[in-house]
Structure 1
Amino acid sequence: MAKVVMYTTAICPFCVNAKHLLEGKGVAFEEIRVDRDPSLRKKMMADSGQRTVPQIWIGDAHVGGFTDLWALDKSGKLDDMLG
C-alpha cells in the first residue's frame, strides 16, 4: 500500500472529512499538524504550492485537498492510487 501523508490543523472540517474517508477505507496515514509548527506549514506550502489544509500525498503524488481526494474516490481512482 502506498504511503499517505496529510498536512492538517486541529480545527479544519475538511481535514476531519479526509481522515474519515481514509479511515473508512482502512488506510493508515501520517498526519502532520501545521498548526503546531509554522515551519511545517512553510514546507507544506513549498511542496504543494498551496496554503490551505489538508494537503494530501499518496506516495510521491500530490493529491490536493479533501475535495480532490473525494473526487478520486468517487471516480474509482483512489483505490488504484492506494495500491
Structure 2
Amino acid sequence: MTARILVTAGGAGIGQAITEAFLASGARVAICDVDADALQNMRDTHPYQMGIQTVSGLASQRGFLAQTEAPIGRF
C-alpha cells in the first residue's frame, strides 16, 4: 500500500525536506503552505508528483483535502 502523506508548511525549510524525503520513498504527498512562491518552486521541482495548495484562510484550509484527493488519493 502506498503511503499518503500531508505536509503542512511543505514549501520550504524543514517542511520541504520532509516532503522530498517522502517523495523519494515513493509516498503520495500533498503539501500546503502560505508562501505561494515556495509552493511554485516545489511544483516546478516535482511536477505531477504531489497535490499542492496555498492556504491563507479557513475556507482554503477546508478545501485543501478535497482538492488534493484527485492527485494523491483519499486520506
User: When the two structures are superposed, what TM-score results if normalisation uses the length of structure 2?
Assistant: 0.39
Bigger radius of gyration among the two: 1
